[in-house]
Amino acid sequence: MSRLSLSNLGAMVKKRRGAKKLRETATEIGISAPTLLRVESGRLPDLDTFGKICSWLGVDPGDFLGRPTQQTAALPAETTISAHFKAEKLPEPETLKALARMLLLIVKNESSQQVDHDA
């Protein structure tokens, strides 16, 4: 499982969009054109938008947050998550809230996968 960076989300979206028009791509993703423009310019989206973008990109949201792999599973969660704060010594409150929502999404996703697997 590859590690993706939240700081690269906008660039990934922009690259995938290519020459398509902003509004056309936003409609395809299921978000507004201004929201897509904000994401492409580097702003972190809200949880719902993040999920839609990840789905459109075909990536697992957990890959952006460093979900433990077999190699990192033995490390404390703080070690894995702290990597996202190294770039900014004092992350913006909006960034912290977005990361918290994304972590909750991962936990919810993992829980539902476990239930599906057990059934």
Question: Is residue 28 pLDDT above 90, yes or no?
Answer: yes
Q: CA–CA separation, 18 vs 103, rounded Å?
A: 29
Which of 7, 12, 5 has its CA nearest to residue 29?
12
Tell me the domain boundaries of the chain: 6-118
In this prediction, residue 45 carries a pLDDT of 87
Domain spanning 6-118 has what CATH number? 1.10.260.40
Q: How confident is the model at residue 53 (pLDDT cuts 50, 70, 90)?
A: very high
Packed helices 33-40 and 9-17: angle between N→C axes, nearest 10 degrees: 120
pLDDT in tens, 73-114: 444 444 445 545 555 556 677 777 777 777 787 777 777 666
User: Is the model more confident about 53 or about 47?
Assistant: 53
Q: How confident is the model at residue 36 (pLDDT cuts 50, 70, 90)?
A: very high
In this prediction, residue 43 carries a pLDDT of 87
**Predicted TM-score (pTM) of this structure:** 0.57
